[in-house]
Amino acid sequence: MFSVIMAGGSGTRFWPLSRAGKPKQFLEITGQSPLVVETCARLAPISRDSEIILVMGDGHLPRARELFPDRKVRLIGEPVGRNTAPAIGLGALQARRLGCSGPAAFLPADHFIRDPDTFVDALRLAEHAAASGGIATLGIEPVRPETGYGYIRRDREALPGGEGTVYRVRDFVEKPDPETALRYVSAGEYYWNAGIFVASPETILDEIRRHLPDLYAGLQRLEAAWEGPEFDRVIRDTYAALEPVSFDYGIMERTKRDLYVIPCACGWSDVGSWMSLYALRRDAWDENLNLIDGDALPVDCEKSYLSAGGGRLVACLGLQNCLVVDTPEIVLVADLDRAQDIRKVVAQLKAMGRKAVL
């Protein structure tokens, strides 16, 4: 089974650890390896390295070549980010060229999954469900009334037969308000949309042809130039002209294909903020609920996340619910509950022209 991993994000939520040149998927924030490496390792039971396609910003290709030195994993660089639909189209093109005729998995590079076996089992089930030309998606069992994600609503009854529970998708729904989110969670028919799809490249490309014809035309130009001397120029020109569009909005909400959702309780997190990283690493909390990375000394501190990676001692006294991130060039101190607003800090630095710290 092929896997197309989208590693194009350039978020600022983990600033100052993530920077313009080093986005989240290339950081070792949940374990020993960068998220993108953990994502590939997690797929080992279903995809050989040579069946893994990584789509990323071309500026990150050198780093990716270091991380995957045996050259088996396929790397594709996008000259500029245009959201997920072009990245998925590009990955589907490459997978088809490499001989993938059955369903492939399309998934983000920067998620955390506590239980990889459950995750892989769900992908296998999704492969099975998508074998006859439909699109299957993983539905993450919601564990809180999250307003930051889109939801997938399933049919009441599961499909009969098969190796596991598969539902038809009734609806993809936008990020809800808190009240609606609470209703979704208690209803039991809603899942978080983690942006993980399984479908054959042929299906993907056909849907792009129907619903995103400009993107399809661009992909045709790319295929014509593939591995030729003009490819770099063609991909630059093509991408420059593309409208950014997400696969969810551009395809999933419009397609007439059969859509399936596989319920998946795999301890998933999109590691969307310092706060969510703090929460998912609860196994590493000390007795005062502090999370300590590196040379940090908490004195009378509680529920604080101290990340010392700047080669300095980080000493803390009397803190509650505080985030301290020390890096060689920047130290960030924030209310941990305000972790979502780190983009405000980054935006302000951008407005000040402080490029060196972005």
Binding footprint of its own copies on the chain (CB under 8 A)? 16, 297, 299-300, 310, 312-319, 322, 324, 326, 328-335, 337-338, 341-342, 344-345, 348-349, 352, 354, 357
Closest approach of its own copies to the CB of residue 177, in Å: 24
Closest approach of its own copies to the CB of residue 64, in Å: 28
Which CB sits closer to its own copies, 265 or 345? 345
Note the residue count of the chain. 358
Return the closest-CA partner of residue 63 out of 30, 28, 32.
Answer: 28
Which CB sits closer to its own copies, 247 or 305? 305
Which CB sits closer to its own copies, 120 or 334? 334
As a whole number of angstroms, the distance between CA 296 and CA 324 comes to 10
Closest approach of its own copies to the CB of residue 281, in Å: 20
The letter for the amino acid at 4 is V
Which CB sits closer to its own copies, 186 or 320? 320
Sign of CA dihedral 121, 103, 112, 152: negative
Closest approach of its own copies to the CB of residue 311, in Å: 9
Here the tokens at position 138 are: 């993983």
Closest approach of its own copies to the CB of residue 15, in Å: 8
Q: Per DSSP, what are the bridge partners of residue 172?
A: 152
Closest approach of its own copies to the CB of residue 347, in Å: 9
As a whole number of angstroms, the distance between CA 154 and CA 172 comes to 9
As a whole number of angstroms, the distance between CA 164 and CA 12 comes to 38
Task: Return the ∠ at Cα 193 (arms to 187 and 197), rounded to 5°.
Answer: 130
Q: Provide the b/e sequence for 272-298 (b: ≥16 CB within 10 Å).
A: bbbbbbbbbbeeeeeeeebbbbeebeb
Which CB sits closer to its own copies, 158 or 345? 345
CB 63 within 8 A of CB 23: no
Task: List CB contacts of 191: < 8 A, sequence separation 6 or more.
Answer: 138, 139, 140, 141, 142, 151, 152, 154, 261, 263, 264
The letter for the amino acid at 266 is C
Closest approach of its own copies to the CB of residue 149, in Å: 23
